[in-house]
């Protein structure tokens, strides 16, 4: 076989191996980030959105600002809560609900 062709063939495979050696770790890092960071975050966001959609009148909620109140009225993306001993009412957006303190039986 011609020595020039043999050198070109081995040089091409070395370039391919060098490219693979640099790309494989980057792909592995992306896969690890996806399973350790991105996927759990999306799952948590989905659960939070489901909790906000399942809020019912009478539930005790806590807003993102720390206001605790009982849901009085729900209209689309607005929620009216009653808070304090004087029963003052506050209208908030549904996205501001951080936790629902009422436990529902999902039977």
Number of domains, the chain = 2
Q: Are residues 46 and 79 in the same domain?
A: no
Q: Are residues 1 and 39 in the same domain?
A: yes
Model pTM above 0.85 = no
- C-alpha distances (whole Å) from 26 to each of 32, 35, 106 are 10, 15, 44
Q: Are residues 6 and 46 in the same domain?
A: yes
Residue 107 lies inside a defined structural domain of this protein: no
Helix (H) or strand (E) holding 53, with range, is helix 39-53
Residue 61 lies inside a defined structural domain of this protein: yes
Residue 91 lies inside a defined structural domain of this protein: yes
Spatial separation of the C-alpha atoms in residues 49 and 10, rounded to whole Å: 56
- Render each residue's pLDDT in the chain as its tens digit; 107 residues: 555 444 445 556 788 888 889 999 999 999 999 999 999 999 999 999 999 999 999 999 999 999 999 999 999 999 999 998 999 999 999 999 999 999 877 64
């Amino acid at each position: 076989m011609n020595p020039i062709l043999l050198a070109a063939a081995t040089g091409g495979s070395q370039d391919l191996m060098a490219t693979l050696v640099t790309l494989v770790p980057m792909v592995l890092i992306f896969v690890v980030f996806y399973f350790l960071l991105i996927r759990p975050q999306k799952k948590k966001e989905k659960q939070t959105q489901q909790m906000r959609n399942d809020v019912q009148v009478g539930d005790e909620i806590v807003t993102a600002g720390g206001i605790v109140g009982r849901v009085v009225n729900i209209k689309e993306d607005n929620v009216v809560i009653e808070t304090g001993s004087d029963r003052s009412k506050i209208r908030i957006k549904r996205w501001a609900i951080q936790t629902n303190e009422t436990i529902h039986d999902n039977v």
